[in-house]
Chain A
Amino acid sequence: MGRTVITVDDASTIRRMISFTLRSAGHEVIEACDGMEALNQLKLRAVDLVISDINMPRMDGIELTRQLRALDRHKSTPILLLTTESDPAMKAKGKQAGATGWLVKPFQQDQLLGVVATIFSR
């Protein structure tokens, strides 16, 4: 069943890749280039999943997670943070902020599809 996903990343290549991959699986995908833009969008609508990079200008993924969790609408929206191997501390912060899970960058398309499917099956 098609869900709505928002991908938040300042790297357009990654946004594209996520959009393509998820759209081909039948989902609707919204793009945002940083936390601020995502937050503005998400204040107005609900989504079934937030996939967000951590390191972004204006507002990073951790802060976005915190802000979203403070909104009624997004108290339980699944939030998947994209982390990198070299920053384990970030993972902890993400957890603290209330994220649902993490996915290590870089990942392949099938990996992403698998993770997303798992999330939706919970």
Chain B
Amino acid sequence: MAIKEELQKQLIDELVVESLEGLDAFDHEILVLETGEQTADTWNNAFRIIHTIKGSSGCVGFGKVESVAHVGESLLAVLRDGSLTPDSNTFSSLLRYSDALREMMRSIGQDGVEGSADHSQLVSDIQALHSGLTGAKHGNPAFGFFDEEPKAPEALSDTPMDAPTAAPLAATTADKEDTNASHPAGSQAPKGSISDSAIRVDVSQIDRLMNLVGELVLARNQIVQSTGQDADPAHVAAVQRVNLITSELQQSVMKTRMQPIGNVWSKFPRIIRDLCHELGKDVALVMEGNETELDRTIIEAIKDPMTHIIRNSIDHGIEHPEQRVADGKPAQGRLSLRAFHEGGQVNIEISDDGHGIDVGRVLQKAIQRGVVTQEQAARMSQREMLALVFLPGVSTADEVTNVSGRGVGMDVVRTNIEKIGGNVDLHSEQGKGTTIRIKIPLTLAIIPALVVTCGDDRYAIPAASLVELVRIEGDQVDKSVEHIHDAPVYRLRGNLLPLVHLAKELELTALRHEEEAMFLVVLQAEGRQFGLVVDGINDTEEIVVKPLGKEMKGLSVYAGATIMGDGKVALILDVLGLARRAMLLDEGSRQSAKDRDGIKAPDADNETRSLLVARVGANRIAIPVSCIARLEEIPAGKIEHAGKLEVIQYRGRIMTVVRLASVLGIPDGASPAESADSERLLALVVCALETSNLGVIVDAIEDIVEERIQIEIREGQRGILGSAVVQQRVTDLLDIKELARMAA
């Protein structure tokens, strides 16, 4: 009996899936019919869908669904035959009918029973749409043989009842024979229904496949890595084969999981139509990028957020036709959906040409709810005010309408998107409209990437952004790197390439030695190129992209992380994020990029800073690591004099040095004998200024720390910004710029 139950359950699952798919197609057909764009088959398609549902649910034992389906089928039959002309009421009823069936199916899918909802009103509505109900059970025998029938009650046929023989039939089939006779036996039938070229696979199976392939990629990386140059040729050949096969396998499996976003979007025309009817609005839907493919999990995750955003747009964004005309807009509103891939992410844009978000009201609501205070509100930028929409409890509608739902806010949308590692952005212009941008990383992607080193760590750069690699020999570096308005550039085949030092952007201390070559990775972001300076370049590898946790969400320079062949974690750089942060894009984004990453101006409180702590006499001095280019030790004798200044020759240039001790007016702790010793090594901190470097001589370098500090700004001492508690001791923070001015 267990098998029978199991089979029954499978049947039920099959029924539910088949029916729900059918109902979606049904909706589509009805919408097509409503706009008058139908073909000859449209009514029949709609009919057949309901007919199938009726038959299937009857066979599985769901009589209630069967009889409801029966009612609709009858109506559709007369509509199909043309004996009844539909009006807008008909279509609305049919869509409601479809919803009822859907509801019953969902109930079956969830609980195995048809549900207790009472559809009798709907049934009578449908019946009322056409007079009479054909197909009532006539009490005919359920089964019979044609050659045994004495007299069929509905004897419409004019041929005598004979045992089926070939003779009379040969004549009637002669003309039909041609179509098939021309096909040689076994030839490919023309592509018809999708069911003969597709199979259904349980989603969890695909997930398992996906995970296995991911593991295989990692294992393959390890094998490739550990196969040295001197390996046995047969072994190498085998490894190469594994390599190739793994790549292909991985691409194929990924494909199985990808679905076009159109699958999600296909439900929207119906939703929008219903909303428009309900609210008395007129909105045209434009969809671009239906074929953009996303992984299954992403599709699942964005369904609800997108639906909510669209509902919001129509409910609160787009005005009534009369209002629009009064404002000089076309009566019909426009809602556009756009999807495309960029920079390893999927971008989805939903825009409407409604009246935009009333920032003033958002602010009011926010203040009312106690989300922000009046003072905070006064200091907010436009962007920040718009961003308030994402906080729970802030709704721009005066009453929460039935349509958008209570409790479902933009905060939930944002949470859902961020859960899959994406982010949501909102732009709005009063009177013009609102655009919501969703960006989601292709988190389960396996992508080719270039591995580079910077400092002690490796970083991966998606190959998609990679243009070329440049190596500059040590002695050429100073000649090749020029400066334009303080920004370093490199002349690559005549074009100026802005340079970004990865070490600098990540606030790491550079380790490159003078004589060593400089490695440039030429990258592309938003149509512009730049060169990323790294310490070393490793290989190109295929990596599994894994998202970073919530804790790292604000770091725009990373696109995720991956596990390398040796099991260690490496960060994946986000080329666009890096470019923005390095101020390569417009000035406007410069500050916001820095804000986003949580780095504020030096006089901010309580930020985590990377600091170099040095000792000068009995004082502790701190210098932000971001200002530091190199740490050196130089013999005292190297210091020369140029006018009043002390300088040294550094990397082919003349660099000013300052002895911090003298600047601060404190004794430097060295004895006269030591001071005179030209061999004595001095600790030199090379600080990078806008146009040049400045060498700062300290007594000793203590430590490099990362701490959250509170700076007490102090006037009165030139060269010192203020003091803070670093490593539980009072430390003075150096003002490099001021120092440079003092030394000049």
Contacts and interface: CB of A to CB of B under 8 A. Distances in A.
A58 B193 contact: yes
Given A34-B193, A43-B185, A99 B56 contact: no
A67 to B, nearest CB: 7
B143 A70 contact: no
Interface in A5-20: 10-14, 16-17, 20
Contact of B74 (A63, A75, A86): A86
B196 A92 contact: no
A100 B146 contact: yes
Contact of A105 (B14, B58, B61, B147): B58
Contacts of A89: 154, 156
A13 B60 contact: yes
Contact of A10 (B11, B59, B185, B195): B195
A12 B138 contact: no
Contacts of B196: 33, 37
B10 A16 contact: yes
Given A33-B196, A92-B152, A104-B143, A13 B166 contact: no
Interface stretch (B169-177, B209-217, B469-477): B169-177
B169 A36 contact: no
Contacts of A82: 55
B164 A100 contact: yes
Contact of A20 (B7, B66, B159, B195): B7
Given A13-B11, A44-B186, A85 B169 contact: no
Contacts of A27: none
Interface string A97-113: 11111111111100100
Interface size class of B (residues with CB under 8 A): 35 or more
Of the candidates A57, A84, A98, A108, the one having the most CB atoms from chain B within 10 angstroms of its own CB is A98
Of the candidates B59, B134, B173, the one having the most CB atoms from chain A within 10 angstroms of its own CB is B59
A98 B169 contact: yes
B303 interface: no
A2 interface: no
Given A37-B196, A57-B192, A105-B55, A97 B169 contact: yes
Contacts of B185: 43-44
A3 interface: no
A89 B77 CA distance: 14
B51 interface: yes
Interface in B47-100: 48, 51-52, 54-61, 66, 70, 73-74, 77
Interface string B26-54: 00000000000000000000001001101
B135 interface: yes
Contact of A86 (B11, B135, B157): B135
Contacts of A75: 166
A91 B56 CA distance: 20
Contacts of B665: none
A97 to B, nearest CB: 7
A80 to B, nearest CB: 9
Contacts of B140: 85, 88, 104
A106 B58 contact: yes
Contact of A85 (B137, B146, B173, B186): B137
B18 interface: yes
Contacts of B173: 66-67, 69-70
Nearest to A58: B192
A94 interface: yes
B142 interface: yes
B15 interface: yes
B189 interface: yes
B52 A11 contact: yes
A103 B11 contact: no
B155 interface: yes
Nearest to B159: A96
B164 A13 contact: no
Of the candidates B11, B15, B195, the one having the most CB atoms from chain A within 10 angstroms of its own CB is B195
Contact of B11 (A17, A53, A96): A17
Interface size class of A (residues with CB under 8 A): 35 or more
A12 B58 contact: no
A34 B192 contact: yes
Nearest to A66: B173
B136 to A, nearest CB: 8
Contacts of B237: none
A98 B147 CA distance: 10
Given A58-B193, A86-B73, A86-B77, A102 B143 contact: yes
A96 B161 CA distance: 8
A115 interface: yes
Interface string B590-621: 00000000000000000000000000000000
B139 to A, nearest CB: 10
Nearest to A102: B144
A99 B161 CA distance: 12
A102 B18 contact: no
A107 B144 CA distance: 13
A57 B193 contact: yes
A20 B11 contact: yes
B685 to A, nearest CB: 74
Contacts of A93: 157
Given A33-B195, A44-B186, A85-B135, A66 B176 contact: yes
Nearest to A93: B157
B193 A106 contact: no
A89 to B, nearest CB: 6
B66 A106 contact: yes
B324 to A, nearest CB: 43
A14 B55 CA distance: 8
Of the candidates A11, A76, A96, the one having the most CB atoms from chain B within 10 angstroms of its own CB is A11
A30 interface: no
A39 interface: yes
Contacts of A58: 192-193
Given A20-B11, A106-B55, A88 B192 contact: no
A121 interface: no
Given A36-B189, A39-B180, A85 B138 contact: yes
A121 to B, nearest CB: 12
Interface of B: 7, 10-11, 14-15, 18-19, 48, 51-52, 54-61, 66, 70, 73-74, 77, 134-135, 137-138, 140, 142-147, 149, 152-157, 159, 161, 164-166, 169-170, 172-173, 176-177, 180, 185-186, 189, 192-193, 195-196
Given A104-B140, A106-B57, A107-B142, 8 more contacts: A36-B189, A66-B172, A70-B169, A76-B164, A85-B137, A85-B138, A95-B157, A102-B144
22 contacts: A10-B52, A11-B52, A12-B18, A13-B14, A16-B11, A16-B14, A20-B7, A20-B11, A36-B192, A58-B193, A66-B172, A75-B166, A85-B137, A92-B155, A95-B149, A96-B159, A100-B146, A100-B164, A102-B143, A105-B54, A106-B59, A111-B143
| 6 shortest interchain CB distances as A-B pairs | A106-B58, A86-B135, A88-B154, A98-B164, A92-B157, A13-B56
